[in-house]
Copies of this chain bind each other. A is one copy, B any other.
Amino acid sequence: MSGFNVAAATEVADTLLVLFLALLAAKLGDELFKRIGQPGIVGEILAGVLVGPSVLGLVEADEVLEVFAELGVVFLLFWVGLETKLSDLRDVGRLALLVGVLGVALPLLGGLGIGIVRGDETATVVFIGAALVATSVGITSAVMIDLGVLDRRASRTVLGAAVVDDVLALLLLSIAAGLAAEGEVDVVGVAVTLALAIAFLSFFALGGTRLLQRRPRLLHAPRFSESPLLPAVILCLGLAAFAAQIGLAAIIGAFLAGMVVAETRDQHPIEDEVAPLYAFFPPFFFVFIGTEVDLGALASAGALALLALVTAVAIVTKFIGAYIGARGLGRGDAAFVAVAMVPRGEVGIIVASIGAMTGVVGERLFAVIVGMSILTTLIVPPLLRRLAPRLADAEPEPATVP
C-alpha cells in the first residue's frame, strides 16, 4: 500500500546513521593519509575496511550505500567528462584503442592461465579472466584530478582506453554469464548487447555534442531554468541509467554526459555547482570498496598464496599490455598510462560477485578476487604521484576566436 511504514521509518533513521559513519570514516581516513604524505583515496578505502564487516562491523554494504557508492563514481566520471573535450579523446583515439585492447588481452590470458592451471571448470576460468581484465577508471580519475594532470595527453589516453576497456569487459562478462547460466555462449545476446553499447557510445559521443554545439543555450534557456545544475545532473543520471540498462557501466554514461555538457558555454558555472556533489558522493564509493573485503576468508596460507599470485599476474599483465600499447607516448608517459590502468576497483568486485551469485566462483576465490581488486587499487595512487611530475606538458590550447 505505502512504502513509508514503521520498519521503513526506522530503516531510514538507521540509514542516516550508516551514511554519517561512512562519510565520517572516509573524511578521517583521507585527512590522516594526507597528513602522513599519502594519497587520501587510500585512506578512504582503508577506512572502509576498518568500519566494514571485516573489522568493526559498523557499516555494511547495503543497497542504499551501494547506490551512494554508484552515484559517487557517477559524479566522479561526470566531473572528468566536464574536464574533457571530445576532440581531446579523438586525438588519442588510435593510441587509446591500442592501450585498451592490449591492456585487456594480456590480463585475460593471465587470468585464463591461472584458472586452467588450477583445473577450474570453463565458466570459472572465464570469470577469473574477466575479473582480471576490468579497469576501475574511477580510482585513477580521482587521482588524476588530485594531481591536476587531467589535461595531459597521457591522462586522456587513459580515459579513452577505459572506454574501450569497458566495452571489451562487457563482452567478456556477457560470455562468462552465459557460460555460467546456460553452459554455452549466447551469441545473439552478446552481439545485441555489444551493438547497443557501440550505438549508444557513437550517438552521444557524436550526436550529443553536435546538438549542443548548435544549440548552446539548450541547458540554460533564460526562461527554462535559473541554474544549469539540475538539467546537467538530469542528463548525467539519464545517460548513466541508460548505459547501466544496456549493460555498460553507468559511469561511461556519466562520462559522456560530462563531455556533452563541456561543449556548452555553461561549462564553468556547472563545474562550480557540480563540485559539491563531487565532494559529497565519491567518499561513499571509496568506503564501499573497503567494506567489500572479507579478511576472514583470506586468513589461510593457501588463500594468501592465491591472492599473491592473482594480484601479481593482474599487475604485471595489465602493466605490460598497456605499456606496449602506450609506447608511442615515450617512456615516462607510457609508464603513467600503464600504472593508471592497473586498479581493478569496483569492476573486479562486480565481476566476482556475478560469478559468486551464479555459483561458479566459490567463497575463497571471491575473497581473493576482491582482495586483488583492492590491492591493485591501493598501490596505484602513490605510484601515479611519483610518475606525474615527469609527464609531458599539456599541449598549448590553440588560440580561439570568441
Q: Does A356 contact B (CB under 8 A)?
A: yes
B60, B233, B241, B363: the one contacting A17 at CB < 8 Å is B241
Contact bitstring A279-305, B, C-beta under 8 A = 1, else 0: 110010000000110100000000000
Contact status B6-A353, CB under 8 Å: yes
Copies in the complex: 2
Contact status B234-A24, CB under 8 Å: yes
Contact status A63-B61, CB under 8 Å: no
Say how far A282's CB is from chain B's closest CB, in angstroms: 11
Among residues 204 to 255 in chain A, which have CB atoms less than 8 Å away from a CB atom of chain B?
223-225, 227, 229-231, 233-234, 237-238, 240-241, 244-245, 250
Contact status B20-A279, CB under 8 Å: no
Compute how far the CA of A63 lies from the CA of B275 in the bound complex, rounded to whole angstroms.
27
Q: Does A273 contact B (CB under 8 A)?
A: yes
Contact status A237-B16, CB under 8 Å: yes
Interface of A is mostly: helix
Say how far A280's CB is from chain B's closest CB, in angstroms: 6
**A-B CB contact pairs (8 Å), 26 listed:** A1-B294, A1-B363, A1-B366, A2-B61, A2-B292, A2-B366, A3-B292, A6-B354, A6-B358, A8-B66, A9-B353, A12-B244, A12-B250, A15-B67, A16-B67, A19-B237, A20-B234, A20-B238, A23-B230, A24-B238, A35-B223, A227-B279, A229-B280, A230-B280, A273-B276, A276-B277
A interface residues, Cβ below 8 angstroms from B: 1-9, 11-13, 15-17, 19-20, 23-24, 27, 31, 35, 60-67, 70-71, 74, 223-225, 227, 229-231, 233-234, 237-238, 240-241, 244-245, 250, 273-277, 279-280, 283, 291-292, 294, 346, 349-350, 353-354, 356-358, 363, 366, 370
